């Protein structure tokens, strides 16, 4: 069975500071992993995905994530936070062998302090 744990439901950073959002997964098969961002009253937008190619994945808006099999982690980072990064972030693992179902974490709300 697949599951995702996002540590920290709320994260606050100062503008210009490093953003680190944590995601750990549990999967019985080699996983595909995703980070989505959700702005208020909007749907989910894909930031980046890991599908068993390079373990360091670069996404949109300056975000990147590293797949670490030994730690079962896929943490999201950005070197310098912008005010526009304030949003809800969701990590998801895909069950690609049974129809590409996604299992989402509970989300992390990012606040950027000016």
Partner 1 sequence: EAGVAQSPRYKIIEKRQSVAFWCNPISGHATLYWYQQILGQGPKLLIQFQNNGVVDDSQLPKDRFSAERLKGVDSTLKIQPAKLEDSAVYLCASSLEGSGALTYEQYFGPGTRLTVT
Residues contributing to the site for partner 1 (CB under 8 A): 4, 9, 32, 34, 36, 41-46, 49, 51, 90, 92, 94, 96, 98-107
> At closest approach, how far in Å is the CB of 44 from partner 1?
4
> At closest approach, how far in Å is the CB of 101 from partner 1?
6
Mapped onto helix, strand or coil, the DSSP state of residue 71 is helix
Its sign, for the CA torsion 100, 69, 19, 110, is: positive
Q: How many CA atoms lie within 13 A of 50 on its CB side?
A: 27
- Name the DSSP letter for residue 42: S
> At closest approach, how far in Å is the CB of 30 from partner 1?
12
Q: Which is nearer to partner 1, 68 or 97 (CB)?
A: 97
């Amino acid at each position: 069975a697949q599951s995702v744990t996002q540590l920290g439901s709320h994260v606050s950073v100062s503008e210009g500071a490093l953003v680190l959002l944590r995601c750990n997964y549990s999967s019985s098969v080699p996983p595909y992993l995703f980070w989505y961002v959700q702005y208020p009253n909007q749907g989910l937008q894909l930031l980046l995905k890991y599908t068993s190619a390079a373990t360091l994945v670069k996404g949109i808006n300056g975000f990147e994530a590293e797949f670490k099999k030994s730690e079962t982690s896929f943490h999201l980072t950005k070197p310098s936070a912008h005010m526009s990064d304030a949003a809800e972030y969701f990590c998801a693992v895909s069950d690609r062998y049974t129809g590409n179902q996604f299992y989402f974490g509970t989300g992390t709300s990012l606040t950027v302090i000016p």
